[in-house]
Structure 1
């Protein structure tokens, strides 16, 4: 199989920094997972975001749940093919808040018509993703409007639009990866962000050893 990012980027994949190519060069046949450890220097949740929504999506591991700084961070990347035959990359993130661990889980899918990122254990949200490579070889992900995956098939439009931007690259000076994720709304502005650094290692792993949390509760074939 071909890694989901190589499919999505095509020949642009080769413009990524070599360490970024290594990061995103595994697929479901590789027999490895990738484990990350680092520090999130800043997590922000806007106070304008309704507390019940923060609680709801936080409980379902679809977003960080509170503003903080200097939060220990761990994550794992796990590749598999789902029941629909799609190549998937599950990303399980753990934020080590002083009040206890909180999680942000997502599954990136090489879909029928493009790149799709499902967020939350449900999953709860769907982001259509447009990946690209920056001049310095970093990976840039920009989303279209998010879609709710609970209830009627509707997208968030107009004042309800929610869009994500994520950039990850190699920090040559400190010999580690940096990440910066932001979610914005045209009315509220910045809804949330998290940014920081991490290191990564490969670990041999069979499909049977992948954590259960890497599979959403429901198989969703919707991609738009």
Structure 2
């Protein structure tokens, strides 16, 4: 069975990715592998000063990064598992070793047949769900662009308006010269400009899922079934 990312992109588009990106985004239950990337973010940044309270609020649930830094040690854990609703899920848990202590930016991803894309649940409680649209660039890199965002808490189920929402753009490539993945993430608001982002590189290592599994604390505290 193809990974959730190959399913979302389709075979033709997926096979235009650099082979190393194809392997990284083939991580899933069928591959039997998990992937851990370790590297350094050259820069972790955020927007103007008035963004700080918003970032601090999101940081409480591992949704946003409220701190900045340079040459920040970084780990990303991509581990597949079956969630409590029977869906194949892949973690995108990023840990930034910032000067004031580690900060996490958590996401868990599933493929949504209803929405025809990868669905990105953000944070420790999956309160925020975002559509992700993946495409292969001419140079074999991967471009991920977020679409609609929805907020869920108890009976509340609302679309996040553009006024307060953010558009994420992620570019990931493989540098054959260094043997490392390059990543550039930028999140901005249509009206207020840049919110936060980071850029840097990492090396990936693959481990058999059967010998490692999902470590404690990696899965979200609460899982959301609504797409």
- Is the TM-score greater than 0.5? yes
Match of 2:127 among 100, 106, 124: 124
Match of 1:136 in 2: 139
Counterparts of residues 41-190 of structure 1 (less than 5 Å): 41-113=42-114, 114=116, 115-150=118-153, 152-190=156-194
| Cα RMSD for the two superposed structures | 1.8
Match of 2:220 among 197, 216, 222: 216
- Unmatched tracts of structure 1, length 5 or more: none
Aligned residue pairs: how many?
223
Q: Taking structure 1 as reference, are residues 145 and 207 closer, same or farther at Cα in structure 2, changes over 3 Å only? A: farther
Q: Deviations over 1:16-36 (max 9, x none)?
A: 101111111121133321111
Displacement of 1:38 after TM fit? 0.5
TM-score (norm 2): 0.91
* 1:22 matches 2:26: no
Displacement of 1:159 after TM fit? 2.2
Match of 2:10 in 1: 10
Q: What SS does the aligned partner of 1:142 have?
A: strand
Greater CA drift, 192-201 or 209-218: 209-218
Displacement of 1:208 after TM fit? 7.4
CA contact (8 A) 2:162 2:189 kept: no
CA distance in 2: counterparts of 1:213 and 1:110, whole angstroms:
22
- Unmatched tracts of structure 2, length 5 or more: none
CA distance in 1: counterparts of 2:43 and 2:102, whole angstroms:
16
CA contact (8 A) 2:91 2:218 kept: yes
Displacement of 1:160 after TM fit? 2.3
